[in-house]
Amino acid sequence: MLRFRLRRLMEDFEYREQRRLTMTEISEATGIVRTTLSRMVGPKHFNTTSDNLEKLCKFFGCQVSDLVEYLPDEAADAAEG
């Protein structure tokens, strides 16, 4: 399972910039629909496109590995239950 670290990147951004970062701001800057961003932050598994990953990496100035974490199936089952 892949788990998105979008919330962590948002928190790091807010700490670094000393201001609040909203999903709307990310949506406007990247062109990614706010609903998609919200689903990426949510606890359930979500599928997105590599285009969205690229846009988020550009926005945050990060690598894909900073945005997405791989969890083996056993770890994913433990995290959900």
pLDDT in tens, 44-64: 888 899 999 999 999 999 999
Residue 3, strand partner residues: 69
CATH assignment, 2-64: 1.10.260
SS3 call for 68: strand
CA distance 30 to 1: 25
Q: What is the pLDDT of residues 13-50, one digit of tens each?
A: 999 999 999 999 999 999 999 999 999 998 888 889 99
Question: Is the pTM of the predicted complex or chain greater than 0.85?
Answer: no
Q: What is the residue extent of each domain of the chain? A: 2-64
4: helix, coil or strand? Answer: strand
Residue 57, C-beta contacts closer than 8 angstroms, at least 6 positions apart: 63, 64, 66, 67
